[in-house]
Amino acid sequence: MLILVSSNHNMNILPDHITNKDIHNIASRIIKGSRITTDDAMTLYSECELPLLGIMAGIMRRRINNNYVWYNRNFHLEPTNICIYNCKFCSYRRRSGDPDSWNYSHDEMMEIVRRFDKTDVTEVHIVGGVHPSHDIYWYGGLIKKIKLHRPSLHIKAFSAVELDYMIKKAGLSLEEGLTYLKKCGLDSIPGGGAEIFDESIREKICPEKTSSERWLHIHETSHKLGITSNATMLYGHLETYFHRIDHMTRLRDLQDKTKGFNAFIPLKYKKSNNNMGYLGEVSIMEDLRNYAVSRIFLDNIPHIKAYWPMTGKEVAQLSLFFGTDDLDGTIEDTTRIYSMAGAEDQNPAMSAGAICKLVGDTGYIPVERDSLYIKR
């Protein structure tokens, strides 16, 4: 692996041969801790050389997270892949009755939870399809059972798209629904369903889905109720750099207002088994560019996550030199979302020891965290 900049690199040193005045000015402001603009972000995406982007992103990530790389011990529950929506990029969704579909009962999901009784996992991540029959009380009942069985387990559950449907189905207001789930034991919300906020792109790739405005409103409401969340961006399909920057601007603006986002997770479009496969996939170089610009632009979101079941372990490791500081967790081979889309790792699981070695080999410092990024 080519290491472009050591994790111990002096954060105030930049190459002295930068000839592009715009990039030089952006780099100078990053060193001083000033926020970059949307125009700056476009310049970085379209004109900045990748090694220099890595240096600038490294300055930002060390300012915010020192040389630490965070991970946790977690597993996933995916209640169903039956979904009322038919997003063109999705490889996960199945119709009811399809031999590859599933719809677990509470008892079946509690059996999965009990498999980890004698392990030191700290978080369960619950996401799945938007099933037409499941309302908020069905999901609230599941959360209650998990909390009753293992009170210390942090429950990070339900994308904004799932929340939107289940709350409306129950006839509750958004605030009422989120308050109910919090009382059941919901601790935080994942970032799924954001895709790309630009409405013209959403109309092409997920026209039926919860709107970008509604997604942001759900997260803003959850933050006001004391429920923190993550945020995602699906990239590498029909969007342009302009659309990515617009997406991150809306997140940055909301974070200025609520300070409720824990992490930003760029999610790469994968081409297998969906209706957009003709597009192919962007390169690893583009993945790294996107991580770097995300870290530089989103100066108020504390963590940038490289979700290793999506990237693969080697790219996740390389991304640490381009601004990421979190590798998610052990996963325990409990998610099929990216494996069904053709991810390299079809059975995603990585021990804490393996994560620590992967991080340690880069010169960064692995730190086990809880779901709210408190050191364990």
CATH number of residue 272's parent domain: 3.20.20.70
Q: Which domain holds residue 304?
A: 64-368
Mean pLDDT throughout 179-191?
Answer: 98
Average pLDDT, the chain: 93
Residue 180 located in a structural domain: yes
Residue 303 located in a structural domain: yes
Q: Residue 15: its pLDDT value, please? A: 54
Q: Residue 209: its pLDDT value, please? A: 95
Residue 130 located in a structural domain: yes
Distance CA 253, CA 250 (A): 5
Q: Residue 6: its pLDDT value, please? A: 38
Mean pLDDT throughout 333-344?
Answer: 70
Distance CA 200, CA 144 (A): 39
Residue 48 located in a structural domain: no
Residue 124 located in a structural domain: yes
Which pTM was predicted?
Answer: 0.93
pLDDT in tens, 13-71: 455 556 688 999 999 999 999 999 999 999 999 999 999 999 999 999 999 999 999 99
pLDDT in tens, 246-260: 999 999 999 999 999
Domain count, the chain: 1
- Kindly indicate the confidence band of residue 335, based on its pLDDT and cuts at 50, 70 and 90: confident
Q: Residue 333: its pLDDT value, please? A: 78
pLDDT in tens, 228-285: 999 999 999 999 999 999 999 999 999 999 999 999 999 999 999 999 999 999 999 9
Residue 108 located in a structural domain: yes
User: Does residue 348 have a pLDDT over 90?
Assistant: no
Residue 171 located in a structural domain: yes
Residue 376 located in a structural domain: no
User: Does residue 323 have a pLDDT over 90?
Assistant: yes
